[in-house]
Structure 1
Amino acid sequence: MPSFDIVSEVDKQEVKNAVEQANKEVSTRFDFKGTDARVEQADYVLTVYADNEFQLDQAQEVLNNKLIKRTVDIKCLEIGKVEKITGNKVKRSVTVKTGVEIELAKKIVKEIKDSKLKVQASIQGETVRVTGAKRDLLQDAIALVRKQIADFPLQFQNFRD
């Protein structure tokens, strides 16, 4: 039976490259001269540091631009609140979300069932597997999910006949 998986993945190496490029640009920009502005990465958690909130927003914008250029969808970023460190220095944590969350997976399954397409959707960990009798039905299901879920980056992988 033909099937495919709906996943949400981010290339960790591309995120690392974007962080390195953002740090390089921040270190050479005139408006960041003599400041402690930087971006640090620990797995899928990025921490943006700066001397004040304005510079923090500017560093965040540089990071977002670099992520976009590296084809990382910034809709998967969960931007945290601004935290004070010492004196005027501030930081913000940014989490890169991977995997389809349970609520979103349930929403995808519900949308597919409500569409009356002759396909079955099941949640398998952080992926949603869709199976059907014909390839055309699966392509219709992909089009439906793309149209319904536009606020979160999804990929359709493992398409098998």
Structure 2
Amino acid sequence: MAKENSFDIVSRVNMQEVLNAVNQAEKEIQSRFDFKGSKSKIVFDGKPEITLHSDDDFKLKNVIDILEGKLVKRGVNLKALRYGKVEPAAGDTVRQVVTIVQGIEQDIAKKIIKAIKDSKIKVQASIQGDQVRVSGKNRDDLQAAIAVVKGMELNIPVEFTNYRTF
């Protein structure tokens, strides 16, 4: 029987799906009647942020609704989005930057590890870069650790990957 089992807890977003959703949202904005003559647009250059431009707050809210709908259809979890402040931009427009969170931040990783340790499950959890590795001898304990993390109220999407048996 295997001595050590492990899995990783990660938070990542498929940027190709984000690009596809942005392109679909742009097409919808260009074709919708209520955006005719509007300066509304979505800028995404592959970096983990999307810049939204629009005429006013109301149209910006509509652009966000369109984008979120397309992201959900493409399987992107909306918990990965961090909305910046709405700021005035050139040409009497408004702009908002939406940051896409990639990886688990230190404080959230510590919170996950603390919850696993407080549950008294016989596993070890450690931070490895922007992910958390959980290892233990018993597979049932690993399943229990997954259940603990799924039950937590985290403001990021988490996935359980890299299940290994050593």
Pairwise TM-score range, normalised by the shorter structure:
over 0.9
Runs ≥4 residues deviating over 4 A: none
- DSSP-derived class of the 2:85 partner: strand
Match of 2:40 in 1: 37
1:10 aligns to what SS in structure 2?
A: coil
TM-score (norm 2): 0.94
Q: What's the offset of the Cα at 1:48?
A: 0.5
**Identical positions, percent:** 49
- Is 1:52–2:56 an aligned residue pair? yes
Shift of 1:86: 2.4
- Aligned counterpart, 1:82: 86
- Counterparts of 1:17 and 1:87, CA distance in 2: 28
- Per-residue deviation, 1:87: 4.2
Question: Using the alignment, how far apart are the partners of 1:94 and 1:122 within structure 2?
Answer: 30
Asked if residue 67 in structure 1 is aligned to residue 71 in structure 2, the reply is: yes
Paired residue type of 1:23? E
Alignment of 1:79-158 (within 5 A): 79-158=83-162
Aligned residue number for residue 15 of structure 2: 12
Separation in 2, partners of 1:130, 1:14: 28
TM-aligned CA deviation for residue 88 of structure 1: 2.3
**TM-score between both structures, scaled by the size of structure 1:** 0.97
Structure 1 counterpart of 2:12, which letter? E
CA RMSD, aligned part only?
A: 0.9
Cα deviation for residue 57 of structure 1 reads 0.8
Long gaps (5+) in structure 2: none
Name the residue aligned to 1:3: 6
SS in 2 for 1:81: coil
Match among 26, 33, 43 for residue 29 of structure 2? 26
Structure 1: unaligned runs, 5 residues or longer: none
2:16 aligned counterpart, secondary structure: helix
Find the aligned partners of 2:102 and 2:89 in 1 and give their Cα distance. 28
